[in-house]
Structure 1
Amino acid sequence: MSRQRIRVGKYELGRLVGEGKFSKVKFARNMETGEGVAIKIMERDTLLKQKMVKQIKREISAMNLIKHPNIVRLHEVMASKKRIYIVLEFVMGGDLHDKITHDGRLREDEARKYFQQLITAVDYCHSRGVSHRDLKPENVLLDSYGNLKVSDFGLSALPQQVRRITAPEILQNEWFQKDYIPPKFQEDEDVSLNDIDVVFSDSEEQLVTEIKEIQPVFMNAFELISMLQVLNFGNMFEQHMGLVNQQTRFTSKHPAKEIITKIDEAAGTLGFNVKKRNFKVKLQGANIGRKGRLSVVIELFEVAPSLCMVEVHKAGGDTLEFSEFYEKLSSALKDIIWKSKVNIGEIA
């Protein structure tokens, strides 16, 4: 039972945490410091064919200008012969859309805190000549302390003429000022990118090495600890108000190959197209839902001897349809899902 471990420069790539039309985001570990980061990975050929090079350069330039406690931090940018890597701060608390979907309407004091942090971040961006232009709950992340982090500057640009109220005027508003705590931070030196064009050049000197290593499918303690806030082994899946998150997981004491076979059979019965590669399964719904076809990625990890963790996450489609899909899948897999409680210490 094995899979490939991939190192890019000083980072070891781990599990998939997000997927877009032209990029994937993976959790990674800085092998020098042990720090967890998120790495946005894009194929060079795809960017060139889709004429997205200018957009990516603009995204990198925008993030290089802004260092703020409520904005996802850019660590560095790397390139190999085939791919572009954007190394970002890892934010593990999910996004604001999921929080509202699962928890319902926010309390006024909670909403005010998020709005204060959002407007403070927007005001800072505008002061540096950057407009986000794609602010929405899905692009507003929450860290482990419940603080807001603005992400995804792919559509950013120079600010256009302000018409709706200015950020400085909002900052002075009486309602906004109630219980407002201004952020305290020290601005570090800019990330040294030298010339952003260099990551798209063919210069061998600027390329990092991609190393593939065959290792057992085993989620190490560092990766497991990074997920402690969202793991709930007492339940088969994370549930709240009848809904499941866009990413959820369960444990099983059955052999890995048996688990994958059972998932394959269950998905086929539910009418999904199935693509398998080692211990990773991608499912595509046959019907077009409210937000297109439901797409689900399922990946299996070994977290301890005779104990596997199966991670299920929505790659596309509607969250409510994903919730309904899970209910049917969990029913079909009830014979292999381990329902007993587990102590984290027993796993790590």
Structure 2
Amino acid sequence: MDTKSNVLMHKYELGRMLGQGTFGKVYYARSLQSGQGVAIKVIDKDKIMKVGIVNQIKREISIMRLARHPYIINLYEVMATKTKIYFVIEYAKGGELFNKVAKGKLQEDLARKYFRQLINTVDFCHSRGVYHRDLKPENILLDEDENLKISDFGLSALAESRRQDGLLHTTCGTPAYVAPEVISRKGYDGAVSDIWSCGVILFVLLSGYLPFHSSNLMELYRKIGKADYKCPKWISPEAKRLLMRILDPNPMTRTTIAKIKESTWFRTGWRPESEANEAESSDEGRDGSRLANLNAFDIISLSPGFDLSRLFDEETCVTKEARFLLLRPASVIVSKLEEIAKCMKLRITKKDAGLFKFEGAKEGRKGYLSIDAEIYVLTPAFHLVQVKKTVGDSLEYQKVFDEGIRPGLEDVVWAWEGESQPRLEPGRQQDELLSMSSSQERHSEQQRGQDLLERQLLLLQEQLP
């Protein structure tokens, strides 16, 4: 960093410090190229190495790339030097939701607005196999339009973190917001425990204080385990009923997000068109679903030559996933995925923003196999598809991939990750590929040693904002 001018890597001008944590500081900054205000989290690499949380930082980066949503803080890019790691993230001008609640209870309509945004965003995260595990007002920011921006995914877990019993087993989170089953250390469903935390947040929004509090930690856990709380008299009967269903100490009978959305209190004054329920996306698919755009940082983070492990000088972990490029409309890709599912006797579920889930009909050696296939828009002419195993046995996944997915897509895929040559196609598409090949030659020196797909991603990156 240029300490005299406070310019970071010739890209950002650093301003005032916004906050400070155990492993680094957060600064306000301005992009020298666009003038946009951002926040930059500066992490001390030596500190995180010493306490062994490198994997936690990697996971946070991966999750923030995976969970792109209007109500989640956007991660623009990650940079690193020998001693520091820099997260360039969206700047939320409104500060923490905690600061608003600290002044007292909110009006019911405002609390409902925030709770709706929270539930819709948590629902989106769960559809991506992401469980936050530390939801609280301190980790929820507000933008200039008073909309939520969920942050701090450092304690989050992915679906593949679950053990063979299908549960998570790491005890984490803030005591006052943690679900009873997390405290019990017997394994828990990340989605169900997140719902409990949302209930605690709703109580705080409506009352101005915590439902469970005690100076003695064991007494606090006892109250949480029995859901020992009392609603103040000003909370409406509908809100009390919803809280009772969410703050159910039994995770098996606790209400679901789908049922929360159906509740009278949640739906009061609800206008579907006013809610941003989808991630930032564009390009209509055949069935009206919207596909996620990849920006420059997304492309870099997907590219094997820019593996996150390089931030930490460690060996790359083997991942059960594959990526490929297609010069085909989204509707053709969707049809192919449906054909593959039928052929391999897999259930296929269409989620939002271009995500498709394949699930095995029979239980395998490590439970039911689950595979995600996600379609991204690179340019109007290009799509990238990422396929990865989320749950189940790796050998079963490999068999499905080798015998079903790969041959089923062979006639439409232009380039697979790791292959030396793309498949040329006639007409306009071939002209476009030849143009890209010419561009590749001009960049050959700096890109030597990278595989074809990586080079194409980097070239496409230059065309995107």
CA distance in 1, matches of 2:145, 2:275: 17
**Aligned residue in 2 for 1:125:** 125
Question: Per the alignment, in what secondary structure is the counterpart of residue 130 of structure 2?
Answer: coil
TM-score by length of 2: 0.41
TM-score by length of 1: 0.55
Q: How does 1:315-334 map to 2 (within 5 A)?
A: none
Deviation per CA, 1:11-47, whole angstroms, max 9, x where unpaired?
1211100111112100111111111110111111111
The residue identity in structure 2 corresponding to 1:197 is S
1:136 aligns with 2:136: yes
The residue identity in structure 2 corresponding to 1:97 is F
1:200 aligns with 2:312: yes
Over the aligned positions, Cα root-mean-square deviation in angstroms equals 1.9
Question: Per the alignment, in what secondary structure is the counterpart of residue 38 of structure 1?
Answer: strand
1:183 aligns with 2:288: no
Based on CA coordinates, which of the two structures has the bigger radius of gyration? 2
CA distance in 2, matches of 1:76, 1:168: 34
**Aligned residue in 1 for 2:28:** 27
Question: Per the alignment, in what secondary structure is the counterpart of residue 33 of structure 1?
Answer: coil
Q: Identify the match of residue 261 of structure 2 among 167, 171, 181.
A: 171
Q: CA deviation at 1:110?
A: 0.4
Structure 1 contact 29–35 (Cα < 8 Å) conserved: yes
1:108 aligns with 2:220: no
Structure 1 contact 70–117 (Cα < 8 Å) conserved: yes
State the number of aligned residues: 200
**Aligned residue in 2 for 1:85:** 86
CA distance in 2, matches of 1:173, 1:125: 21
The residue identity in structure 2 corresponding to 1:154 is G
CA distance in 2, matches of 1:114, 1:172: 17
Q: CA deviation at 1:119?
A: 0.5
**Aligned residue in 1 for 2:229:** none
Q: Structure 1: where are the runs of 5+ without partners?
A: 204-348
CA distance in 2, matches of 1:60, 1:109: 34
CA distance in 1, matches of 2:147, 2:4: 35
CA distance in 2, matches of 1:19, 1:165: 37
The residue identity in structure 2 corresponding to 1:124 is F
Question: Per the alignment, in what secondary structure is the counterpart of residue 131 of structure 2?
Answer: coil
The 3 A distance-change label for structure 1 pair 4 and 168 is farther
1:51 aligns with 2:156: no
CA distance in 1, matches of 2:255, 2:55: 30
CA distance in 1, matches of 2:144, 2:105: 20
Q: Say which structure, 1 or 2, has more relative contact order (CA 8 Å, 6+ apart).
A: 1
Q: CA deviation at 1:202?
A: 8.7
CA distance in 2, matches of 1:47, 1:6: 24
Q: Structure 2: where are the runs of 5+ without partners?
A: 160-167, 169-188, 193-250, 282-291, 316-465
The residue identity in structure 2 corresponding to 1:141 is L
**Aligned residue in 2 for 1:336:** none
Deviation per CA, 1:126-148, whole angstroms, max 9, x where unpaired?
01110110001111111111111
Calculate percent identity across the aligned residue pairs. Answer: 49
CA distance in 2, matches of 1:54, 1:64: 15
Question: Per the alignment, in what secondary structure is the counterpart of residue 69 of structure 1?
Answer: coil
Deviation per CA, 1:227-266, whole angstroms, max 9, x where unpaired?
xxxxxxxxxxxxxxxxxxxxxxxxxxxxxxxxxxxxxxxx
CA distance in 1, matches of 2:42, 2:110: 34
The residue identity in structure 2 corresponding to 1:100 is V
| Higher strand residue share | 1
Q: How does 1:131-280 map to 2 (within 5 A)?
A: 131-158=131-158, 160=168, 161=189, 162=192, 163=251, 164-180=254-270, 181-183=274-276, 185-186=280-281, 187-189=292-294, 191=298, 192-193=300-301, 194=303, 195-201=307-313
Question: Per the alignment, in what secondary structure is the counterpart of residue 39 of structure 1?
Answer: strand
Structure 1 contact 81–202 (Cα < 8 Å) conserved: no
Deviation per CA, 1:201-246, whole angstroms, max 9, x where unpaired?
299xxxxxxxxxxxxxxxxxxxxxxxxxxxxxxxxxxxxxxxxxxx
**Aligned residue in 1 for 2:434:** none
CA distance in 2, matches of 1:138, 1:88: 17
1:74 aligns with 2:75: yes
Question: Per the alignment, in what secondary structure is the counterpart of residue 5 of structure 1?
Answer: coil
Question: Per the alignment, in what secondary structure is the counterpart of residue 123 of structure 1?
Answer: helix
Question: Per the alignment, in what secondary structure is the counterpart of residue 34 of structure 1?
Answer: coil
**Aligned residue in 1 for 2:457:** none
The residue identity in structure 1 corresponding to 2:263 is N
